[in-house]
Amino acid sequence: MYQTQVTSGEPNEKEKALLIGVKLPYTDEFTLKDSLAELKLLAQTAGAEVITTVIQEREKLNPAFFIGKGKVEQIKQICDYEKLDVIIFDDDLSSAQIYNLEDKTGVKVIDRSCLILDIFAKRAKTKEAKTQVALAQLKYLLPRLTGRWAHFSRQYGGIGTKGPGEKQLEVDRRQTRKRIKDLEEILVKIDKERDAQRKGREELFKVSLVGYTNVGKSTLFNKLSSASLPVEEKLFSTLDSTTRLVKLSSNKKFVLTDTIGFIRKLPHHLIASFRSTLEEVKLADLLLHVVDLSHPEYKAQISKVNEVLAELGSQEKPTVMVFNKIDLLDGNYPLAKVSASLGGSTSGKETVFISAEKKTGLEEFLKILEKHLDNQMALAEIVLENSQLGFIPHLYQFGTLVQKDFGGKKAKIKIQGKKWSLKKLQASLGGANGKIKLRFV
């Protein structure tokens, strides 16, 4: 059976690649060029050497080749002259189009989604990430299984068989569907493990970093949490969500999670397969939408991130727009006008300008974080008689015990948690445990 596999490491020799984009009547030329520039970075991240880029203007797509027949002949000549190894399209292709293009050019043809999946496969390190990527690959592959491989010939049974055998294609499809089901069951088990981990930090304030890929989320995560996540000038350096407990100078604590970076034309199968990783976004109390302000297309990147957040049902969450990499800007850059120029995409959201790498603006950024903590978190004091000390383990369901004083005949305990959770605790103390008093401090 033809299978996609999760691989690791870089190829010994770089494949020579040609990139192709199509401009339709409704396609914005600048957007297309930026998308192709991003495709080039994707190809380089995957280990290819981009030799040239071709753009064709068309009134409509060719159902057989995606591009025109004349352009296919031109591409074949370029491939022969440059001795190219792979042609990469900026849009998704059908299995028939891939077959036809490879048949005419004699060169391997892939599309943008296939390229992204290949990068994810190479970057996947943990069992969860590998499972998620393998699932996305198989879902991508299933509708593209065709009779193009030689072993897909019809097999007939011999003496003692019940009739003609199946086409190998049908065998492959059935096995692929079974493998998809198996991987989905594995992810369900992983989800349950994640849920158990989340319950342990349910009452803590949760902050998630979101944003386009390569905007500096991991750098900011490292600065805030003293972690050492890999920071590379490559796309998708972070696939697994990473969580750390962060303690501010004021002694306030929160849970910080770094999530996978988004990108334009992100394959839908990836979003679906990474649902457990992206669940951290849905459960966050605050989102930090990190933006690379030095990127010429940062407004378009904001829109793409907002689209994914909307798909996750998280666009209305409390959000701080964190405009990063201001150290790369000209000294006269009009920072004050940035928010106004974005219009509705930042409506009602606080903004802060920083350089995570140079630690510029982090003091103001931390003040904003602390304000959000204060708005949703509270500190309460509980006084227990010595005979009531057995009630202490119950308190961990509602927050973090930040101070315990067992002097004298009574114990004083301070608990920090979300306001709604502490009010829930206060209500429960008014029942069977009415002798236990809680006050907010």
**Domain of residue 174, CATH code:** 3.40.50.11060
240 within domain boundaries: yes
Q: Is 93 exposed, middle or buried (0-12, 13-18, 19+ CB in 10 A)?
A: buried
Q: What is the pLDDT of residue 380?
A: 87
| Predicted structure pTM score | 0.74
Residue with tokens 């649902």: 275
Mean pLDDT of 51-79: 95
Instruction: With cut-offs at 50, 70 and 90, classify the pLDDT of residue 245.
Output: confident
Within this chain, do residues 349 and 257 fall inside the same structural domain, yes or no?
yes
Q: Count Cα neighbours of 20 within 13 Å in the Cβ-side half-sphere.
A: 26
Domain boundaries, position 345: 201-360
Within this chain, do residues 148 and 227 fall inside the same structural domain, yes or no?
no
Within this chain, do residues 156 and 193 fall inside the same structural domain, yes or no?
yes
Within this chain, do residues 327 and 277 fall inside the same structural domain, yes or no?
yes
For the stretch 267-272, contacts whose Cβ atoms lie closer than 8 Å and that sit 24 or more positions apart, written own/partner, are 267/113, 267/116, 267/117, 267/136, 267/140, 269/113, 269/117, 269/135, 269/136, 269/139, 269/140, 270/116, 270/117, 270/120, 270/132, 270/136, 271/308, 271/311, 272/136, 272/139
pLDDT in tens, 295-352: 988 998 999 899 888 888 888 889 999 999 999 998 788 887 887 777 666 667 889 9
Instruction: With cut-offs at 50, 70 and 90, classify the pLDDT of residue 200.
Output: low
Within this chain, do residues 156 and 287 fall inside the same structural domain, yes or no?
no
What is the C-alpha separation between 67 and 24, in angstroms, rounded? Answer: 11
Residue 188 is given by DSSP the state: H
